[in-house]
Amino acid sequence: AQSVSQHNHHVILSEAASLELGCNYSYGGTVNLFWYVQYPGQHLQLLLKYFSGDPLVKGIKGFEAEFIKSKFSFNLRKPSVQWSDTAEYFCAVNPLSGNTPLVFGKGTRLSVIA
């Protein structure tokens, strides 16, 4: 079965530190890739997505992610985090062949401290 791995369960950073959250998936075919974010008390919302083209995609709030096909990875990055980035981040993969739903990783909780 396809799976999505987020290696960091909880990341704690100081403000202005750089962020990289890892995401790897096991599916070998063509995929759509997503990062969702869930701020405290709020609903999940889309941060960015990759369908095709430039493997470096930019999302909202200064986030970006790079798709590396050879590594089956879609890591999320931000050069300088803010306290308001404190949230839970979910990587999700949609394999495009077969009738397969969106598969989520278990999430990474980011805590940004002043």
Phi, psi of 80 (to 5 degrees): -150, 110
**Strands, E assignment, the chain:** 4-5, 10-14, 19-21, 24-25, 31-38, 45-50, 56-58, 64-68, 73-78, 87-95, 103-104, 108-113
Pick one of 12, 16, 56, 102: the residue that binds other proteins (CB under 8 A). Answer: 102
94 counts as binding other proteins under rule CB under 8 A: yes
5 counts as binding other proteins under rule CB under 8 A: no
Q: By rule CB under 8 A, what count of residues binds other proteins?
A: 23
Binding mask 46-85 for other proteins (x = CB under 8 A): x--x-x----------------------------------
Question: How far apart (Å, rounded) are the C-alpha atoms in residues 65 and 1?
Answer: 24
Q: Given the complex with other proteins, which of 2 and 17 has the nearer CB atom?
A: 2
Pick one of 44, 62, 64, 72: the residue that binds other proteins (CB under 8 A). Answer: 44
36 CB contacts (<8 Å, ≥6 apart)?
44, 45, 46, 47, 89, 90, 92, 104
Q: Given the complex with other proteins, which of 70 and 97 has the nearer CB atom?
A: 97
Q: Which residues bind other proteins (CB under 8 A)?
A: 32, 34, 36, 42-46, 49, 51, 90, 94, 96, 98-107
